[in-house]
Structure 1
């Protein structure tokens, strides 16, 4: 049959010897081309070209026609599938024969990629990974419609100006549901008590807060988003008093690999956005010293800080303090945590931390926004956050903010806002269009 019938005895031995000298491709091409010279039929060339382009609709090959025919006929003779390929050339093959011929040609073109099924989207993607972008072009052929599933083109949908709190559902207090948020009693946090400057003891916070939650969102972004309240639709609340009626807390969490020597603290991440509404009994429940501190905090006033050797002037906003804790520590400890992670979780849980200087503030018409930039935290802190990414959907987190009291008349501390986040999963969230 063509090339196989005309090969003399001992051909395989001579070919193996010349293979060592790197001349296998030249010998194969010469022998096959000489054997096909007598059997060449111009009417079959169009069908051969059709089979070739059917095969290369997935692969962009730079091989010439002569090399293709050489490899083509040798693989047919070695695999014993010449009959199927011959029927494909003559146009009388059924669908199974065509698929068999394409598979043979596919294996001939790519001997390192085994395949026993017709080409599909998954095979195309696997070819792309192995061949690289220079060897593969993935395009939809004419006459074939694009897929209805938009995830094949864009894995994450983009949402513009969503309603605040529309991405994460609300769960009533006292119940436990995954991937939701719920209100939290302020008196579950420990803060500086009335006599803290003398005994250094902390007490449970008073059972009242300045702001209460009404929604939580998670948005993904290629770069961190500042002043995120511009891109969401906040509810209309009557503005009455010295403080805004809505508080927005935007926690910017990095999702890229953390490096000790990285110079730019920005990149792919998620924005955990929490929305709070001013308490209806704000003026009645909260003491005067806390309301005065909150007014100074929003108006960005400064204060004199006693220091050595001289006093300094510092913004009042540097008193903002983050309160956070993991409620189900015992459950997480049973997971695959190493000794260092277990010690870090037990030592740092419920430890307050000042947000300075990794914070920014934005004052709107009826809202006040606080951006907490975790991208700019220390290397050790960011590594801890990175290891916590996949455990976030297994954790119950309590989050709160307060204004630190540095004087006796500013104590006890009160909770500015607080919320419980129950097993949040940041995967498959929306990209926020800005």
Structure 2
């Protein structure tokens, strides 16, 4: 008589939860190879393949659902939102997870002036969705407290704290495409920095622009450029001032980026992670500066690993909401707590919406 334990292939075996990596290691302890242990081993292999196939279908299904939900959210008008708020429809339940009042885990972006003039090539919006404001193929600034940085006593207790408000405000984002890498975009007379942020339309003698240009190589080169504006002059003795006026060795050892996929497939979240990165140690970084701006050009193509990750992410970019913040690492007591230079959020970016950059001169 059977002792009551589940046989391979029985309903109890099929239903038990398990990790795919563990299951692969159990079935293929010496790696993937052709092993013959009879019909039972063939059955287990078929079960594993079916699980992998089901996982793939589930990922594709959830991505389609997210895309449909995003399109539906964009089409909801203010009147429809009020009606949904008092209803019990499935659409209403799906919408609430994006609403500011839902208490969801995502940090809200700063409010947008609906009458503001777009200055960068990528439009400003807001995510989570809000009626009357663009929520796809757009940017906004999430609250700094969503990121954790080294606290005042970090050198003693190793604790990190919510970052608080950044030093600079994100005023514009450019999304460019060209057949060559785009360097020192801030120096171009017709560009966002010179024409709008430092020009007569907004700039002043005390304005300083800190721009981060993330360069993605390929048959077509992409650049996404974040323009942060500091209204007050930068103190030369501050950590940021020493970074701006310092040498490249100091800059490469201190500039830190913290990424986060706020919305997207689990596999992308795992690939990107949330671990702070000292940019100059992993990638080639070029600095361009003048009296009123500093542009940091980050060449993703300088690292095979980083390039592969970014290329992988680009395949999902329409379904993603990606947050980033930039700061200078504090290593001494007088450099703590760390302060963010600025934050950014890009929601459901459309690669084909990238435009040509302004001419060099």
Q: Same fold (TM over 0.5)?
A: yes
Q: Deviations over 1:216-237 (max 9, x none)?
A: 1111011111101123133322
What is the match of residue 387 of structure 1? 312
Deviation at 1:245, TM superposition (A): 1.6
| 2:250 aligns with one of 315, 319, 329 | 315
Alpha carbons 1:247, 1:369 under 8 Å: kept: yes
Deviation at 1:348, TM superposition (A): 4.5
Flag the 1:417–1:250 CA change in 2: closer, same or farther, 3 A: same
| 2:221 aligns with one of 253, 259, 269 | 269
Matched, 1:234 2:201: no
What is the match of residue 408 of structure 1? 333
Q: Which runs of 4+ in 1 moved over 6 A?
A: none
Q: Which runs of 5+ in 1 are unaligned?
A: 1-162, 257-267, 303-313, 334-341
Flag the 1:277–1:251 CA change in 2: closer, same or farther, 3 A: same
> C-alpha separation between the residues in 2 aligned to 1:424 and 1:277?
23
Q: Which runs of 5+ in 2 are unaligned?
A: 1-116
Structure 2 length-normalised TM: 0.58
Alpha carbons 1:210, 1:279 under 8 Å: kept: no
> C-alpha separation between the residues in 1 aligned to 2:320 and 2:339?
26
Alpha carbons 2:261, 2:323 under 8 Å: kept: yes
Structure 1 length-normalised TM: 0.48
Deviation at 1:364, TM superposition (A): 2.5
Flag the 1:201–1:347 CA change in 2: closer, same or farther, 3 A: farther
Q: Deviations over 1:25-59 (max 9, x none)?
A: xxxxxxxxxxxxxxxxxxxxxxxxxxxxxxxxxxx
Q: Deviations over 1:267-297 (max 9, x none)?
A: x3101011111146x88xxxx8x96111111
RMSD value, Cα = 2.6
| 1:193 aligns with one of 138, 151, 166 | 151
> C-alpha separation between the residues in 1 aligned to 2:178 and 2:252?
27
What is the match of residue 353 of structure 1? 277
Deviation at 1:409, TM superposition (A): 2.3
Greater Rg, structure 1 or structure 2? 1
Deviation at 1:255, TM superposition (A): 3.3
Aligned length: 228
Flag the 1:179–1:347 CA change in 2: closer, same or farther, 3 A: closer
What is the match of residue 91 of structure 1? none
Alpha carbons 1:221, 1:269 under 8 Å: kept: yes
Deviation at 1:299, TM superposition (A): 0.6
